[in-house]
Structure 1
Amino acid sequence: MQSSNFDKQTNKQTNKQTNKQTNKRKSNIELLRIISMLMIVFHHFGVHGGFEWKASNITIQYLWCNLIVIGGKIGVDIFVLISGYFLITSQGEIFNLKKILKLWGQIIFYSLGIVVIFVLIGNHNYNVKILIKSVFPIIFSSWWFASAYFVLYIIHPFLNIFLNMLSKKNYQTFLMLLIIMWSVIPTITTSEFQSNSLGWFLTLYAIAGYARLYGFNKIYTTKKYFILCLIFFALTYSSSLMFVVLGARWSVFFNHATYFYGMEKLPTLLISLTLFMGFVTLKIDYHKWINTLASATFGVYLIHDNNIVRPFLWIDVFQNFKYQNSLFLIPYSILVVIFVYMICTFIDLIRQRIFEKPFMFIVNKYADNIVKSFVKMCNVLKKIMFG
């Protein structure tokens, strides 16, 4: 009898440990988050560094910058693909105020915090307009990605209902329509075809949702996905180099050297999707340090690409433009990007511990009552509007 009780207790402990391991998110996708954010930071180093390139003077430094900026929109696409992959199966309530406020809290923390810090140190002028924008960063698109992503996050439960109701065949048809309208046509014609950032995010969400629910062709292994990604990357970069060569004679080509780098362009979509699927099929167990670093990736973005921080970082502090004609630009860019990434990660991990925990304690305490009040208000409005 004692032995039986001991076995039961042992089994309970084993089951608890197994459940904990099961609930822990594997680190393959989390590693991809880190890589994607590094690509985005490299992109911003090249785009916002104050460089002035000329078609008549193509240098190794220019070719390097042309190479690192390709990762920016790839990183953006991958972040949305990751969200769609995980959120498509979420079966929670339609309006999860706790998660929404958690996301909003992180955005507002950096929006207000950065303004306050720069005003206090005298590096930024204060006025009512700046204050209003910093209080409502999502409405005024202080970060374009954050605003579009926030809206996507709010409406994703309704997307899930729609996408999960589709048959596999209809889902495939729906995806083909979205890709043709908002990727193929814009790539060929330069027209956005009534799309915008949010419309493109919806497309990526649907693509990732299909990957999670049904998967793609099983003949594609991790190795094949990575090979395809390298091929698409090489072709995209080669097309840019061809534009650069032609731009030496016709400036219009040089001015559009990064045309295929756009987040909705078909080459970028193919690179993003194959890289994403490569990591989805990659077998990496749970590693706490990877997941911890990955939890700060959105914070890295909010800090380093803030409208106030951006010129201060790349122009004032690191003065990227000074290395335009120096071969040291390549190692310098690598060191700077890693340094910026590490500092921003450190800051966000501190924010999570010191500010987010007490904030979420308050949210968890009062969110349910707020939601109930909100639902009552919506029901009253429904009766007024629809009878």
Structure 2
Amino acid sequence: MGGGTGRKSNFELLRIASMFLVVLTHYVPTRDGVSADTFLQSTAATLCTLELHSLSIVCTHCFVLISGYFGIRLSWKSFANLLYQMLFWSGASVLTAAAIGLPVSVGLFLKGIVWGWFPWAYIILMILSPMINAFIEKCGMHGLGRYIIVFYLLSTIGGYLMGCRDFFSGMSGLSLVGLYLIGAYLRRCEFKPFQHTSKVNFAIYLILGLALLVVNVLLLLTGINSSPYGYLNPVVIVMAIYLFLTFTRMDIGSRSLINGVAASAFSVYLFHCHPAIGGWISQGWTRINEACGPYLAIPVAVVSFIAIFAFCCAVDRLRIYSFKIISNKVFNNGKG
């Protein structure tokens, strides 16, 4: 999940932006809840919350689109690196919690290793990747495009509309497979709607996000509290595609600072979601909302996001350095 040294920095910048949106999507629930009553009582604040949700809902999609675009090359070293990252950050999170006076235990450490749906869904994707890659190469672009259409008809009807357990609301290895296939398709396709400039792609992403907001408002006005912000919503998936394409059309060369931060982006997820520290972070965001109000709280919360990033990037240097030493010994001087 770290940043690849051979990739251009535009993709690494997308990795950073995607993780920033992950943190944002976890911040949104700490604001006042969205309902018909809150919309009527605090219309502007509710619209602000909905827009934050619109911007952030594509977060994990973009991570997997990057993987599909470049293709996962499964090896024992890459697999061990991901597992070591999960182990390291469970320990680092518990130690951080203990340092600030939070209750910790061996149980919390163990729970933190298996906590969260995304790491384990991604592990499933990694294990399946050799078969998926072989399928992509065999079926060709037109065949892959047709297969993606069939896959997302099933995903939309069975997963999004009917709640099929196998899709688990988009939080499953199966759903990541679909995004991986899209990423592979985007690398090769010449489909005209996907050939816009970076600015046009970003505008489409924002317009579709605004459309989700409008749909949610209409639902609220009719007394329906159901949200359209599901991971399997096809509009959300198209939004993720256009945000992804926004960055693919950029040309910023190779920037060591961006690549270095991107290499530690996944650590931000593992840290701020950890059961030993995640609740404390969420409580901090709630206090920020209460103290600053619905509007000023946003820039203050963003400062906290940056602080989390800075902390994780600094600590993750130790993880990267220690794994390099271990991998050089275990995987034949890093070639395994």
Query: Taking structure 1 as the reference length, what is the TM-score of the superposition?
Result: 0.75
1:204 pairs with 158, 179, 196, which one? 179
Q: Shift of residue 312 of structure 1?
A: 0.4
Match for residue 296 of structure 2? 331
Q: Provide the aligned C-alpha RMSD in A.
A: 2.7
Question: For 2:167 and 2:34, how far apart are their aligned partners in 1?
Answer: 31
1:14-61 deviation digits (Å, cap 9, x = unpaired):
xxxxxxxxx7422222222222222222221111x2634553232122
Match for residue 143 of structure 2? 170
Q: Residues 195-344 of structure 1: matches in 2 within 5 Å?
A: 195-196=167-168, 197-217=172-192, 220-222=195-197, 223-247=199-223, 253-254=224-225, 256=226, 258=227, 260-316=228-284, 319-320=287-288, 322-323=290-291, 328-337=293-302, 339-344=303-308
Match for residue 38 of structure 2? 57
2:9 pairs with 15, 18, 27, which one? 27
Question: For 2:220 and 2:159, how far apart are their aligned partners in 1?
Answer: 21
Runs of at least 5 residues in structure 1 that lack an aligned partner in the other structure: 1-22, 248-252, 373-387
Question: For 2:83 and 2:312, how far apart are their aligned partners in 1?
Answer: 15
Residue type of the alignment partner of 1:61: A
1:218-275 deviation digits (Å, cap 9, x = unpaired):
773224423322321221111111112222xxxxx12x1x2x2111111101111111
1:327-371 deviation digits (Å, cap 9, x = unpaired):
x4222222222x2332232233323432321322222221359x9
Q: Shift of residue 184 of structure 1?
A: 4.9
1:345 pairs with 291, 298, 309, which one? 309
Percent identical pairs in the alignment equals 24
Question: For 1:344 and 1:237, how far apart are their aligned partners in 2?
Answer: 28
Q: Shift of residue 201 of structure 1?
A: 0.2
Contact 2:54 / 2:229 at 8 angstroms: preserved in 1? yes
Match for residue 67 of structure 1? 51
Contact 1:31 / 1:294 at 8 angstroms: preserved in 2? yes
Whether 2:71 is the aligned partner of 1:87: answer yes
Residue type of the alignment partner of 2:305: Y
Residue type of the alignment partner of 1:149: Y
- For the residue of structure 2 that corresponds to 1:261, the secondary structure is coil
Does the C-alpha gap of structure 1 residues 207 and 308 become closer, same or farther in structure 2, counting only changes over 3 Å? same
Does the C-alpha gap of structure 1 residues 164 and 311 become closer, same or farther in structure 2, counting only changes over 3 Å? same
Match for residue 20 of structure 2? 38
Contact 1:28 / 1:285 at 8 angstroms: preserved in 2? yes
Runs of at least 5 residues in structure 2 that lack an aligned partner in the other structure: none
Match for residue 79 of structure 2? 100
Question: For 1:54 and 1:34, how far apart are their aligned partners in 2?
Answer: 31
Residue type of the alignment partner of 2:108: I
Contact 1:29 / 1:82 at 8 angstroms: preserved in 2? yes
Residue type of the alignment partner of 1:336: A
Whether 2:119 is the aligned partner of 1:146: answer yes
Question: For 1:72 and 1:229, how far apart are their aligned partners in 2?
Answer: 11
Query: Taking structure 2 as the reference length, what is the TM-score of the superposition?
Result: 0.86
Whether 2:108 is the aligned partner of 1:130: answer yes
Does the C-alpha gap of structure 1 residues 206 and 303 become closer, same or farther in structure 2, counting only changes over 3 Å? same
Q: Shift of residue 209 of structure 1?
A: 0.7
Moved more, 58-67 or 270-279: 58-67
1:114 pairs with 93, 96, 99, which one? 93
Q: Residues 174-193 of structure 1: matches in 2 within 5 Å?
A: 174-187=147-160, 189-192=161-164
- For the residue of structure 2 that corresponds to 1:194, the secondary structure is coil
Does the C-alpha gap of structure 1 residues 264 and 321 become closer, same or farther in structure 2, counting only changes over 3 Å? same
Question: For 1:120 and 1:74, how far apart are their aligned partners in 2?
Answer: 34
Does the C-alpha gap of structure 1 residues 56 and 353 become closer, same or farther in structure 2, counting only changes over 3 Å? closer
Moved more, 286-295 or 72-81: 286-295
Question: For 1:239 and 1:111, how far apart are their aligned partners in 2?
Answer: 39
Contact 1:102 / 1:360 at 8 angstroms: preserved in 2? no
Count residues in correspondence: 325
1:157-190 deviation digits (Å, cap 9, x = unpaired):
2211121111323212211111111135544x24
Does the C-alpha gap of structure 1 residues 282 and 184 become closer, same or farther in structure 2, counting only changes over 3 Å? farther
Residue type of the alignment partner of 1:153: M
Contact 1:39 / 1:75 at 8 angstroms: preserved in 2? yes
1:101-130 deviation digits (Å, cap 9, x = unpaired):
22211111111222244246541253x643
Does the C-alpha gap of structure 1 residues 165 and 336 become closer, same or farther in structure 2, counting only changes over 3 Å? same
